[in-house]
Amino acid sequence: GVPFAPGNDPFVITVGASDTGKSVATNDDVAAPWSAYGYTLDGFAKPDLAAPGRYIVGPVPVTSTLYSERPDHIVEPGYMELSGTSFAAPMVSGISALILGRHPDFTPDQVKGALMLGAKPLPRASDMSEGVGEVSASRSIEFTSPPNPNKALDRFIAGNPATGAPVFDSASWAEQAKTDASWASTTWDSASWAAASWSSASWAEASWSDVSWASASWASSASATASWADLSLASASWADNAEGESADVNGGGIDPLELDAILAGTLDP
C-alpha cells in the first residue's frame, strides 16, 4: 500500500516508477520492483500514473559526493545511470509545466486530469501498480478541457476553521466510505479474530452443512470436567446395568469407563 504522505493524499499527483526495459516501446514496460502501489489508509488507489524511473541516465556534477561514491554507475564523464521514483516524479513535473505553458488557465485538478487522460496503459504491468498508465507528454498537452479526477471528492472539502483555506475532511470521507463499503471480494486469509467477542451472538440459525471436520484434532481436548448429567440417550439405559455392563450404544457393547476414556482421548475405541 501507500500509507505515507504526501503520496497518500488523494489530491496530489502520485507518481510510480516504471521499468522500460531500456526500450522505446511501452508494451513491455512494468512497474519497478521497489515502486510502491496499492491503497492508502483512506482507501484511495495509488499511484495515479507512472513515469520511467529505472536505469535513468542523467547529468551529475563530477565534483559531487554521489559521483565519487558510485563510480560503478558512471556511464560516461559527467553522466550516471540511477533508479528511483525520484527520477520518475520530475518527469511528470516537467510535463505538468508544459501543460500549463500551453494552458495557463488550467487548475491543478485539470492538470492532473490531462496527465491521467493522456497516460498510456501498460498491459504487462500488474493491476494498480502504474495507476492509469505511463505519462505521455505529446498526448497530455493537447487536451483543452480535461476532466477533474477529484470531482467526486469535492463534497468532502471544508474550510479550515483557523485560516479559511479549503481542506479535505478525512473524517467525513471515512464515515461515508464505511457506509458505502462493499466487501464482496474481500479475502480474510490473514484476518485475526483474537479480540472478537461473540457474547451476544445467536447461533440459532447457524448452518454447518458444508463444514468439513476431516482434519480436526481433539488430541488436546480435556473432558475431565465434562458432565453427562443432562445427556439423554434415547436408546441407552444405564440404570439397569448394576454390574457395570454397558447399554448397547450404536450396536456395540462399550463399557461406560471405556466410553469416558475414549472421550478423554486416552483410549482408541
pLDDT score for 191? 46
Based on the fold, state whether residues 142 and 237 are members of the same structural domain.
no
Segment 9-29 shows an average pLDDT of: 91
49-97 confidence digits (pLDDT tens) = 999 999 999 999 999 999 999 999 999 999 999 999 999 999 999 999 9
* Percent of the chain predicted with pLDDT > 90: 48
CATH number reported for the structural domain that contains residue 124 in this entry: 3.40.50.200
Q: How many domains does the chain have?
A: 2
In the predicted structure, residue 195 carries a pLDDT above the cut 60: no
Last residue of a domain, one of 152, 175, 191: 152
In-domain check, residue 231: yes
In-domain check, residue 197: no
Based on the fold, state whether residues 138 and 27 are members of the same structural domain.
yes
In-domain check, residue 175: no
Last residue of a domain, one of 121, 152, 183: 152
Last residue of a domain, one of 152, 179, 205: 152
In-domain check, residue 213: no
In the predicted structure, residue 206 carries a pLDDT above the cut 90: no
Based on the fold, state whether residues 123 and 37 are members of the same structural domain.
yes
Query: Which of the four pLDDT bands, split at 50, 70 and 90, describes residue 23?
Result: confident
Q: Please tell me the pTM assigned to this model.
A: 0.61
In-domain check, residue 3: no
pLDDT score for 192? 46
In-domain check, residue 263: yes
Q: Which phi-psi region, left, alpha or beta, contains residue 152 (left: φ > 0; alpha: ψ -120 to 50)?
A: alpha
pLDDT score for 178? 60
Please give the Cα distance from 103 to 12 (Å, whole number): 19
Based on the fold, state whether residues 125 and 249 are members of the same structural domain.
no
In the predicted structure, residue 28 carries a pLDDT above the cut 80: yes
Domain assignment of residue 24, given as a range: 15-152
Angle of CA points 150, 153, 159, to nearest 5°: 115
Based on the fold, state whether residues 235 and 137 are members of the same structural domain.
no
Segment 8-27 shows an average pLDDT of: 91
* Percent of the chain predicted with pLDDT > 70: 65
The average confidence (pLDDT) of the chain is 76
In the predicted structure, residue 240 carries a pLDDT above the cut 80: no
In-domain check, residue 229: yes
CA dihedral in degrees (223, 225, 229, 232; nearest 10)?
-20
Based on the fold, state whether residues 23 and 117 are members of the same structural domain.
yes
Helix axes 85-102, 108-118, angle to 10 degrees: 110
In the predicted structure, residue 113 carries a pLDDT above the cut 70: yes
Query: Which of the four pLDDT bands, split at 50, 70 and 90, describes residue 200?
Result: very low
Give me the DSSP letters along the chain. Answer: ---STTTT-TTS--EEEEE-TT-S-STT-EE-TT---EE-TTS-EE-SEEEE-SSEEEE--TTSHHHHH-GGGEEETTEEEE-SHHHHHHHHHHHHHHHHHH-TT--HHHHHHHHHHHPBP-TTSPTTTTTT-B--HHHHTT-SS---TTGGGGGGEEE-TTT--EEE-HHHHHHHHHHH---TT---TT---TT---TT---TT---TT---TT---TT---TT---TT---TT---TT-TTSPPPEETTEE--HHHHHHHHHTSS--
In-domain check, residue 74: yes
